[in-house]
Amino acid sequence: MNNSDEGFVISTTPYREHDCMVHFLGKEYGLIRFVLPGYYKPKSKQGSLGLEFSQVRYRFNFQENRLNRILNGELIEGYLHQRTDLEWLMMMSLASEITVRTYDPSAHFYFYDHIALLFSSNNLMKAMIEFIVGIIKHQGFTPDISGCVVCGSQHINTFSIERGGYLCTMHSPAYVKDSKELLLAMKGLFIGAEIDAFLETIELTPVLERLVKYLEYHGDYRFNSWKLISGM
Ligand SMILES: [Zn+2]
């Protein structure tokens, strides 16, 4: 029987001599691994099917609990314009790594819709921030942003990764203070307020950094692509 699905090429790695291993996020099948046979042969006819961070349709004979092979398919969107942009590539690497590490079939549509959004977003940083916030909520370690996590005080001074929420001036580590923008962004993001306009006006890198580190700390992950991005 022939199966087919459309979706996104999340990552590709060389496999055996000429094959390629693809992490594919399919609309119907969710996140699965495929072998793309002969991809690295000089005269491969599969050239457009193993393009990392692209949208494709694959045809295959699906067998459960097996490594399935791609029979054929076609490229739907190669994002050729975007991929000349280093920032786009780095962000896609981060999105790819986060998806592979945190994907949960019970939240399939969340992942699929956000990856689709990320690939074509014109505000990549904001889309990435929203993607990570949803994963943090889904994994059940939403930070406490109702007041200082120690005493409940409303005199908020820092957002603590380790303590999982806000800290007041008295309970913050000495000489540490977060910007008002970062504190407000965290609140808006986690209570689900309409803060698009606000996010357009602030520096988003510190917000993204705090969220990536929060997810790493509470979910026990290490995202290598984040190290690259933050080192730039
Ligand atoms: Zn306090």
DSSP character at residue 144: B
Pairing of strands 68-77, 165-168: unpaired
Cite the DSSP H helix spans in the chain: 86-102, 108-120, 124-139, 180-191, 196-201, 205-219, 224-230
Note the pLDDT of residue 90: 94
- C-alpha 156 to ligand 1 mean position (Å): 8
Average pLDDT over residues 201-216: 96
Find all residues with CB under 8 Å of 70, minimum gap 6, and list them.
22, 34, 35, 36, 37, 46, 49, 58, 59, 60
- C-alpha 148 to ligand 1 mean position (Å): 5
- C-alpha 186 to ligand 1 mean position (Å): 17
- Delineate the domains of the chain, giving CATH numbers in brackets: 3-77 (2.40.50.140), 84-230 (1.20.1440.120)
pLDDT of 231 strictly over 90 = no
- C-alpha 168 to ligand 1 mean position (Å): 4
Average pLDDT over residues 177-202: 95
pLDDT of 215 strictly over 80 = yes
* Residue whose entry in the numeric block shows the structure tokens 């993001």: 189
- C-alpha 47 to ligand 1 mean position (Å): 58
pLDDT of 100 strictly over 90 = yes
**Angle in degrees, CA 61, 66, 70, rounded to 5:** 40
- C-alpha 154 to ligand 1 mean position (Å): 8
H and E: helices and strands count for the chain: 7, 7
Residues around ligand 1, an ion, CB closer than 5 A: 148, 150-151, 153, 168, 171
- C-alpha 159 to ligand 1 mean position (Å): 12
Average pLDDT over residues 161-178: 95
DSSP character at residue 12: E
Note the pLDDT of residue 1: 65
- Residues 160, 162: Cα–Cα separation, whole Å: 6
Pick from 114, 96, 45: which is nearest to 74 by CA? 45
- Residues 208, 87: Cα–Cα separation, whole Å: 14
- The two tokens of residue 1 are 């029987």
- C-alpha 172 to ligand 1 mean position (Å): 8
Give the tens place of pLDDT for each residue, 33-70.
Answer: 999 998 888 877 777 899 999 999 999 999 988 999 99
pLDDT of 29 strictly over 90 = yes
